[in-house]
Amino acid sequence: MKLLTIAIPCYNSEGYMRKCVESLLVGGEDVEIIIVDDGSKDGTAAIADEYAGKYPSIVHAVHKENGGHGSAVNTGIENASGLFFKVVDSDDWVKESDYIQILDTLRDLTGGEKVLDMLISNFVYEKEGEKRNKVMRYHHALPQNEMFTWDDVRYFRKGQYILMHSVIFRTKLLKDCGLKLPEHTFYVDNLYVFEPLPFVKNMYYLDVNFYRYYIGREGQSVNETIMISRIDQQIKVNKIMVDYMAENKAKIKANRKMKKYMFNYLEIITTISSILLIRGGSEEHLEKKKELWDYIRQKDRMLYTKLRYGILGSSMNLPGKGGRKISVEGYRICQRFFKFN
């Protein structure tokens, strides 16, 4: 069995996927790299086959019809044989020295009395045009260099969450929890780091800047204009998260700190949906915003009350054009501070 499976979802990635794959090959025989060609129409498939032919004991190429990022991640999980599982997007890469430390840590933690469910590390926003890249660290919220549980987790700041770039899951946990990301939908990475959490018991945090998250490619899904044009997919993911919170109360309330973390994460996703709809500006966008909040109220009134009348919910629902302008200005301040989009 391989120590770590790394899935690389690829769609028309010929221009940048080599940098990603080359950075991962450093892991050697401990690693299984699954390049998932999601129905690409360029040279992606040929590059995937080239690497699979050159490194047959490490790289596997899987070719499938286009189903979107979530479908490619699902395929990676289905084909994974490693003890642990990581997703690395095809326009991102990893830092070699931290990669080796990650593998050494996974190896050391394998076979002990406690089973590791999730390893967390830092990621770096490699933002085009920025002289200094922001590092997302978790040292203030998580114990370092030791196995810990939700009871040991400290406070997460607003806007700081464990994202897909941060996590390595135990592969069997992902399979056992029934995670199935929706097809032909963007922003499903939010579900990937949300739905498995009630099944996570033991965690480990390494304060290393392992993952390099590239922002700035034209047409990238996190670009604000692109996000507004795909707002229906953002809303779809938002509603799935609401459904999960409402329908899995027993699992989620089993741990107070985990419940609080999951609520805060849902709150920020709902805030992003709301502000994008305000930024969209049309009557249709504003009607969709109302419909989203109505959906939450109908699904779970208590959850709605906590979301709607918290600081973020209140600021996203100020009345009239003046209120919406204030909401957008608050959003802009957060953009400058957190350096997203």
**Alpha-helix residue ranges (DSSP H) falling in the chain:** 17-25, 44-54, 69-79, 96-109, 171-176, 189-192, 224-229, 231-247, 249-252, 256-280, 283-299, 301-308, 311-315, 320-338
Work out the average pLDDT over 172-193.
96
Per-residue pLDDT of 84-122, as tens digits, reads 999 999 999 999 999 999 999 999 999 888 999 999 999
Q: Is 245 in contact with 300 (CB distance < 8 Å)?
A: yes
Under the phi-then-psi rule, with left for phi > 0, alpha for psi from -120 to 50, and beta for the rest, what region is 144? Answer: beta
According to the model, what pLDDT value does residue 325 have?
Answer: 67
Helix/strand/coil for 100: helix
Q: Is 90 in contact with 72 (CB distance < 8 Å)?
A: no
According to the model, what pLDDT value does residue 196 have?
Answer: 98
According to the model, what pLDDT value does residue 323 have?
Answer: 62
DSSP-derived secondary structure letter, 82: S
According to the model, what pLDDT value does residue 338 have?
Answer: 42
According to the model, what pLDDT value does residue 341 have?
Answer: 42
Q: Please classify residue 225 by burial: count the beta carbons closer than 10 Å to its beta carbon, then call 0-12 exposed, 13-18 middle and 19+ buried.
A: exposed
In this model, does residue 260 exceed pLDDT 60? yes
Per-residue pLDDT of 207-238, as tens digits, reads 999 999 998 755 555 567 888 899 999 999 99
Work out the average pLDDT over 9-37.
97
Cα–Cα distance list, 125 to 132, 216, 293 (Å): 9, 10, 31
Per-residue pLDDT of 51-95, as tens digits, reads 999 999 999 999 999 999 999 999 999 999 999 999 999 999 999
According to the model, what pLDDT value does residue 278 have?
Answer: 87
The percentage of the chain sitting over the pLDDT mark of 90, rounded to a whole number, equals: 76
According to the model, what pLDDT value does residue 215 have?
Answer: 85
Give the span between the Cα atoms of 248 and 265, in whole angstroms: 16
Cα–Cα distance list, 228 to 147, 233, 273, 282 (Å): 40, 10, 9, 11
In this model, does residue 286 exceed pLDDT 50? yes
3-state helix, strand, coil in the chain (%, to 5): 50, 15, 35
Enter the pTM of the model. 0.91
In this model, does residue 339 exceed pLDDT 50? no
